[in-house]
Structure 1
Amino acid sequence: MTILEKIVIQKKQEIEILKKTIGIEELKLQAFFSRKTYSLKKSIQEKNGIIAEFKRKSPSKGVISEIQQPLSVVSSYEKFGARGISILTDTPFFGGSKEDILSVREAINIPILRKDFMVDAYQFYEAKAMGADVVLLIAACLSPAQVLEFTDLAHSLQLEVLLEIHTEEELKHFNPNVDLVGINNRNLKDFKVDLQHSVNLKNRLPKDILTVAESGIYKLEDFKFLKNKGFNAFLMGEFFMKHAQPGKQFEIFSSDIAAL
């Protein structure tokens, strides 16, 4: 069994417990559920750039950062030009929680991506209630029909969709309704990174779709390579979070890429 399969099994178990704790109708009554969402698609169209991520740990890297309060980090991301913020909300495998979004929502005025393993309709109402603007759909744990169904559900809640793919087979999950396509440079099954593989997949997508390079961007040369290949945005977390001051590291990197 792969790590992804283990995560999905546990996620489904978590959701069944959550449904008994707070129902969808209760989620609809929460303060952020009625807020007007920000558009990540529009943000990237206005200016290509980085979707900066707050992440404490991962199955492949273990503990990345001991920082508990995300606000100081994500506010720096916003201050120094991030086009959006990505926040992990999975607890067992990534050390995140919905509180990480709830705690920063009112202070952040750019789109927030809820990064989690979305496998049940309930999670979309939950994402809306916690103040997210965008949800991640991972092709590796969904069928093409589910991607279409969940995209329609997300849009009905004024949430945008970032579809993540990694293999040629997962190109079948693409449909023209998704807002952005993320191409993961890291294989979720063996966690190997291959930037050229991602470029090859990008070239098989429609030319007008906004593409996001995800994971495995560890240095300026990686960013430059992917930018020159036509990627519109770059989802980066570990590169910043492994430093004692992630916001400062983001400021430095932003200055470097501005000089390209």
Structure 2
Amino acid sequence: MNILEKIIEVKRKLLSIKRSQFPIDYLEKSRYFNRETYSLSRKISKKSIGIIAEFKRESPSKGLLNNYNLPVEKVIIGYKKAGVIGISILTDLTYFKGKEQDLIKTRKIVQLPLLYKDIIIDEYQVLLAKAIGSDIILLIAEVLSKKKIRTLIQTAKSLGLEVLMELHSERELYKMNEELIMIGVNNRDLRSFSINIESSIELSKRITEKFKISESGIYDPYQITFLHKKGFNSFLIGENFMRTEDPGKSCEHLIKKINDNQ
């Protein structure tokens, strides 16, 4: 069993518990459930190169990313100051030490599109994402059937949420559909966790008329400029920022360098 399969197995068990603790009627009473969401796709369309910064404590392959025990509020305020177009919050607890409370805290302090980043396998998670203040959900093509993806997209749209679908290989292209306008191409293989940007570039050539977001393994402005020329509109970056003492300042420096290079 690979890392991804282990994550999904644990996720199914935890979802059963969470559903009993926080049933759907409870989620629907949340202060955020009926709020109007912020559009990430609109932000992308207005920016030549946009950075989506991620708050991420840990990863299965790298372990603890930040030894400074930074509060989420400090990091998020730094990202906002840096000029990001959106913020991704990793909420998986078991493998990433993420917390839904991190997204709730973020929602209270920024008026930016927030991506609920988790391994989504069930419609309940889409409702949960809306209830805690999310604007976008992530769907990982590798873990979902084409039919399930369409169902989850329809659930998200009914709640006013946008969808970012993440691809890792050409074998997942058939799962795309006309309702998707944002496609993430992950440079990291979810089975081996190795990084290969060249394979992502080849994959991106098969994606047309979509906003393309490059994810994982991005760390310098020259890399970003290169990928932008290959058709990527935005870049989701987490580890590169979170490994530093001041993620917000690191993000600010990167965005400045990108702007200087344009």
Please say whether Structure 1 and Structure 2 have the same fold, judged by a TM-score greater than 0.5. Answer: yes
User: 190-199 vs 50-59, which deviates more?
Assistant: 190-199
1:259 maps to 260
Q: CA deviation at 1:205?
A: 1.1
Q: Is 1:13 aligned to 2:13, yes or no? A: yes
Q: Give the ranges of 4+ consecutive aligned residues of structure 1 lying more than 4 Å apart after TM superposition.
A: none
Partner residue of 1:150 out of 149, 152, 173: 152
The amino acid of 1:14's aligned partner reads L
- After superposition, what is the alpha-carbon deviation per residue over 1:192-246, rounded to whole angstroms, capped at 9, x for unaligned? 111111111111012x200000001122222122111110000000010000110
Aligned pairs, number: 259
Q: CA deviation at 1:179?
A: 2.8
The amino acid of 1:21's aligned partner reads Q
Q: Distance in 2 between matches of 1:228 and 1:75?
A: 30
1:99 maps to 101
TM score, norm. by length of structure 2: 0.97
- After superposition, what is the alpha-carbon deviation per residue over 1:131-156, rounded to whole angstroms, capped at 9, x for unaligned? 00000000111011111110111000
Q: Distance in 2 between matches of 1:68 and 1:242?
A: 11
1:140 maps to 142
1:69 maps to 71
The amino acid of 2:7's aligned partner reads I
- After superposition, what is the alpha-carbon deviation per residue over 1:74-109, rounded to whole angstroms, capped at 9, x for unaligned? 121112210100000000100111000111212111
The amino acid of 2:160's aligned partner reads Q
2:215 maps to 214
Q: Is 1:42 aligned to 2:47, yes or no? A: no
Q: CA deviation at 1:28?
A: 0.3
Q: Is 1:236 aligned to 2:237, yes or no? A: yes
1:55 maps to 56
1:217 and 1:223 in contact (8 A); partners too? yes
TM score, norm. by length of structure 1: 0.97
Partner residue of 1:195 out of 197, 203, 222: 197
Unaligned runs of 5+ in 2: none
1:87 and 1:100 in contact (8 A); partners too? yes
The percentage of aligned residue pairs carrying the same residue is 42
1:55 and 1:87 in contact (8 A); partners too? yes
1:250 maps to 251
Q: Distance in 2 between matches of 1:184 and 1:214?
A: 5
Q: Distance in 2 between matches of 1:173 and 1:62?
A: 31
Q: CA deviation at 1:68?
A: 4.6
Q: Once superposed, what is the RMSD of the aligned Cα atoms?
A: 0.9
Secondary structure at the residue paired with 1:103?
Answer: helix
